Structure 1
Amino acid sequence: MPKLLIVDDSALMRKHLRTLFEETGSFEVRTARNGRDALEQIDAFEPDVVTLDVNMPEMDGLTCLGEIMASAPRPVVMVSSLTSEGAAVTLEAMQLGAVDYVEKPGGTVSLNIDGIRREMIDKVRVAVRAKPRRAHGLLDRVRRSGRAAVPAPRRAAPRVGWSDGLVLIGVSTGGPRTLEEILPDLPADLPWPIVIAQHMPRAFTGAFAQRLDKVCALDVSEVVGPTPLTPGRVYIGRGDADVVIERRLGRLLVNTIPSDTSLRWHPSVDRLVRSASGHLPGDSLVAVQLTGMGDDGAAAMAELRRSGGRTIAESEESAVVFGMPAELIKQGGATVTLPARSIPNQLISWLSRGSDGSRP
């Protein structure tokens, strides 16, 4: 039976979360009242997974996470408010190695805890099987987390001769950290735009796009409405909606539309890939399936490969959760399987033009 440590400064919240998980009969549970107490409990209890509140006295969640990942890495699920400040802190936690996050109930905890019951249990169960990854220079990163990031050097991306090709990326649990490993290694003159469906709440995607824009040579923005696709740019689908490719007056656009309620995850990877396949031939599309639970996008990417498209599945070696890429591989839909660190070079190789300017 996996061991779970619940860390929260609210006695009421600790009580309700402990009851929630003990009622499943699937966890041995202990609690801690702040980050400092959590570190002591981790040494004594050796939990398999930790839920960690962001705002706590004595030692906050971000500092505690840094200590955990530097000294005794294990899966951590952050519990955060979905405010702009909460989103920024949670994204920093994802980069530092947290596996996932859930929204902290507001108002009366006893009334609102049911609203996150299924999500909390599902994400903690997945986290138990996830592989935490230690970040380089982690404690230094925590100490300077409030400082502004230094923008990556940029140069003008090409605006002529675009061959109407497109890179599509699907990603879920563990995605923020993985995307921050891949996208900064891509050059500003990448000849095709990139559109990303990252399963994420609406309050997070804008902050995430801004964060990536600071560290990438490519321009990164959130999709908030119909937007012409341009080389040298990365488009992040708005959370709690779906992101699709459209063609208007002969020009390709990326757009955000209401989520399809028949689908479980949003922005939907499946819907993004199918919409792109409806407007571009297979050999003009490259699809990348990264870390995440479930199978969103696997069937659509497998169909894309059969129609002449190229696909990359992140390997089990680097995937925080191997569910989505594993399903793509299972369906025979992966052209290549690579660890995250090797994906930028593969994309650059595939998208490089010949000297005659022919299609990659």
Structure 2
Amino acid sequence: MKKNYVVAGAILLSVNMLAQEQPKVDSLKNYYEIQEVNIFGKDKNEGPIHKVDVQLIQDFNKTNVVDAVNLLPGVSITQMGARNEGSILVRGFNSLRTPVFFDGIPIYTPYDGNFDLSRFTTFDIHSISVEKSLVSVQYGPNTMGGAVNIVSRKPVKALDIDGQSGVGFADGTGVNSYFTALNIGTRQDKYYIMGSASLLKVDNYLISRKFDGTPLQPSLERVNSESMDVRLSAKFGYTPNKTDEYSFSIISQNADKDIAPNALKAGNSNWRNYPTYDKRSMYLKTRTLVANKTFLNFTGYYDTYYNKMKQYDDDQYTLLNKNSSFSSVYDDYSLGGILNLTTEAIKNNVITLSVNNKFDSHKEHNEEILANTST
């Protein structure tokens, strides 16, 4: 399956260790400019764009992006589908019409455009912005409902270290989750480096106490609702002068999640889990001053999605002998580039030429059958 798009146009423990050297700019905004999508056209446009930053995320102890976005007005969250994927709705539009971007790079699986946003943890991100008004074509296609952009963290000090570790409590059942994360980086005159590692383990989640137990769901702890997310990331940046910036980032996400079955009817239950839910990303972002008040911005990225979902014969999650059982493998990748040429050389005007191209490849097969080599 090929898709090509071309768009042109306008108990919580925390440790923070920071060096005494102060950043050479007054605001953190300039450090994150290369990763944000900036839209011009209104003198003041604070209404339709809402942002949650790292401090607010930590204050409310939001460990994944879905829960963090729920802090913003006009955004609804849901766990949807037979794959139990975390998703968001902006003004009623799901991710097919309100795409999610990571540092301006679109996130979705090539098969059907959906993905599990709950697998994106918040330990190495700086902010999440939600745009609800008319969205610029600089984002790319399918932005009918708006756009969500996750901005990753960058170092702002000569020595920038942030660590978190904690546990989660479920009412009446004690500890049911724990997490640990560490970010280490350095910013020098002409370069910066950031490395991050995190682990989030959830044993289960609780259902309402008003629910009457069934043979398939006898307790408050939701059956088969465990998950574990491991995330590693690294960022390398070069800043030769005050205007130009070049960065290269690598991200590795590994997840293992269970899917809770129907709690009422055994005949309609799907005994499923996701033993493998992996995503790898590499991307290059550049910002170059090519003329007076004229910048050339380029983003190139390569994403891989390798997912394995199993459906078992029964609630023992062991056998796959029935005709309805399977071990489905998705082996997908996306390759794309975004080029923006923006000038403010003409007074009172911002002119942008934008080109966006993306190639998606999807391959699937049952694990017991040889892989399909066609795309």
Same fold (TM over 0.5): no
Higher relative contact order (CA 8 A, sep 6+): 2
More helix by percentage: 1
When normalised by structure 1's length, the TM-score is 0.28
User: Which is richer in strand?
Assistant: 2
